Amino acid sequence: MLRWNKTARTYSAPVTLDLLDVLAQIFPLPDTVEAERRRLAGIARQLDAQRAASEPVPLTSYPVRAKMFRHQVRAANMALIQLSSKPSAGFGLLFEMGCGKTLTAIAIMGALYCQHKITRVLVVAPSSVCSVWPHDLAAFAAFPYEVRVLLGEKKQRLEALHSLTDYPNTANRLLVAVINYEATHREGIFEALEGYAADLIVCDESQRIKNPRAAQSRAVQMLGDNAACRLILSGTPVQNSVIDLYSQYRFLDPGVFGANFYAFRNRYCQMGGYGGHEVVGYQHMDELTRKEHSIALRVTKAECLDLPGQTFVRRYVQLEPAVRRLYAQIARASCAELENGEHVTASIVLTKLLRLMQLTGGFVQADGGDRPRPAGSAKLDALADILEDYVQEAGQKLVVFARFRPEIAAICQLLEQRGIRYGRIDGEVPMDQRGAIVETFQQDPGVKVFVAQIQTAGLGITLHAASAAVFYSLDFNYANYAQALARIHRIGQAQPVTYIHLLAEHTVDDQVLDALERKEDLARTIVDGWKNYFRGDTP
């Protein structure tokens, strides 16, 4: 952490409590420096008190429309303490999936806004997560805000950012821009983000900047250097090596581990192998863990005793422009046919909806065609992100439910490409083989994913080796949906369960899930309200 200045012939280092404590043991500190040491020690005690509190009391009235659980209040309190401790500070929400880190981040940004500490937020997230933020803000934020998702071509992104900063009465609301990691370093976009001058930068799934040499990591770090407040959100900050922490904490607070990658590596890694360039072991792990947690809170579902037994998450994806146009065309044509028909039956409506749902899942069935053809990969890309973070890096088991066989084939191909072992049950798997497939998933730690067709594998099997499931697509039958939910949330499940629904934004997906959550069987209720299912054809 110490840097030698040849010109001034002095060492310099970020002011941290660790450094000042060491110096205080060597010689008496000047009064102003001693005062700073005591101030930092007081902040550390406040953080420790929040960490130890069995029933943390909110430090402020968090402006969110949701009940915050104990761990969320604790994390928000700690973040406010840390982010108010100095002109430039950061905090980490290291929450396991399903523990509500997004709600906590929204509570923090809302509190900072209400305290007049921030006016502009930049959220950097994986592409498949960007579209989730506007929906979560709409669901939870009880403070005025304006949000733009910066996706698409460069021109579209810049126009979206300009429309945000040019929005009328921007002084009366928090501005939130959301962009994917891969775009942050692009020419023109990076400069625009610099000009946006966010007060708070949130790195969602911050393990995406774990490589300090990657262009997106360097871009995010440079943006973070100019922001007063920074948050990282991750359930798996360390994936393959403790080296993964360096770049994330370089963004969060360079004072924790320093700003020199090689100094970090030499301190915490044992080098060996060919030329001494391979990490063969680790050292000083107690120190590393203490420093990591000094400005972060790690939360697992097992520790959150007040979490509900089931958590339902809607993760929205954006269809590609060509697929979006095709969706709108099919929706309009279907609506016109139904309006001009003499008799509208449930069977006719469901057949029309079926084509739309196939399209949101990445396939289109031409009239009279023998086989569906691929049409976009929005949901498959989102599933790939979940697999990377939850299965490949965190090592957890996952169940994936899908309705259509082409979807299942695409999912299985993705798993094979990534070298992930899986089990599969759909209508093509003989009944006498299904029990062994389920047993292998339940008992073999190397089999990480179970791919199930909703209408085939929803009944009579136990999959509680997993505590999370992804609904890649849905069918129209509530009984099938309820049975699928019960495959992992059943006797013997030791963890709270998380269900992630992949939904194409502004499509029938939302309406179908709404109906299922109302416990409706669409075949019985669709005739009277069929128009509602075709009105989401435009964003």
Which band of pLDDT confidence, cut at 50, 70 and 90, is reported for residue 423? very high
pLDDT at 538 over 50: no
DSSP 135: H
d(CA 216, CA 519): 44
Average pLDDT estimate for 14-29: 90
Which residue type occupies 270? Q
Residue 170 or residue 381, greater confidence: 381
Position with higher pLDDT, 206 vs 308: 206
- CB-CB contact of 516 with 487 (8 Å): no
Q: In Å, how far are 332, 337, 345, 348 from 342, measured between CA atoms?
A: 18, 10, 10, 12
Task: Name the more confident of 15 and 467.
Answer: 467
Q: 324's torsion region: left (phi>0), alpha (psi -120 to 50) or beta?
A: alpha
Q: Which of 337, 331, 339 is nearest to 358 (CA)?
A: 331
Identify the DSSP state of 96. Answer: P
**How much is the pLDDT for 368?**
58
What is residue 523's predicted lDDT score, i.e. its pLDDT? Answer: 67
Give the start-to-end residue ranges of the domains of the chain: 1-52, 55-301, 310-316+374-534
Mean pLDDT along residues 363-388: 86
Establish whether domains 55-301 and 310-316+374-534 are of one fold.
Answer: yes
CATH number of 55-301: 3.40.50.10810
- Quickly list DSSP for 455-521: HHHSSS---TT-SEEEESS--S-HHHHHHHHTTTSSTT--S-EEEEEEEETTSHHHHHHHHHHTT--
What was the pLDDT predicted at 320?
94
Confidence of residue 370 (pLDDT cuts 50, 70, 90): low
pLDDT of 258-278, one tens digit each?
Answer: 889 999 999 999 999 888 888
Pairing between β-strand 278-282 and β-strand 10-12 as defined by DSSP bridges:
unpaired
Looking at residue 352, its pLDDT comes to 86
Q: What is the pLDDT of residue 342?
A: 65
pTM for the predicted model, two decimal places: 0.88
CATH superfamily of 310-316+374-534: P-loop containing nucleotide triphosphate hydrolases (3.40.50.300)
Asked if pLDDT for residue 537 goes beyond 50, the answer is no
Q: Convert 124-146 to b/e letters by CB count within 10 Å (16 or more is b).
A: bbbbbbbbbbbbbbeebbebebb
What is the mean pLDDT of the segment spanning 15-25?
90
pLDDT in tens, 473-501: 999 888 899 999 999 988 788 888 999 99
Tokens of 54: 């069995």
pLDDT category of residue 525 using cuts at 50, 70 and 90: low
pLDDT tens digits, one per residue of 331-343 = 888 888 887 776 6
Mean pLDDT of 407-428: 96
**What span, in angstroms and rounded, lies between the C-alpha atoms of 207 and 487?**
31
Is a pLDDT exceeding 70 seen at residue 64? yes
Q: Mind listing the pLDDT tens digit for each residue in 138-162? A: 999 999 999 999 999 999 999 999 9
pLDDT at 433 over 60: yes
Structure tokens at 322: 């060509």
Mean pLDDT score of the chain, rounded to an integer?
91
- The H-assigned helical ranges of 119-188 are 127-130, 132-140, 154-165
What length does the chain have?
Answer: 539
Kindly report the backbone phi and psi dihedral angles of residue 88, in degrees, each rounded to the nearest multiple of 5, phi listed first.
-135, 115
Query: What are the tens digits of pLDDT across the range 81-110?
Result: 999 999 999 999 999 988 999 999 999 999
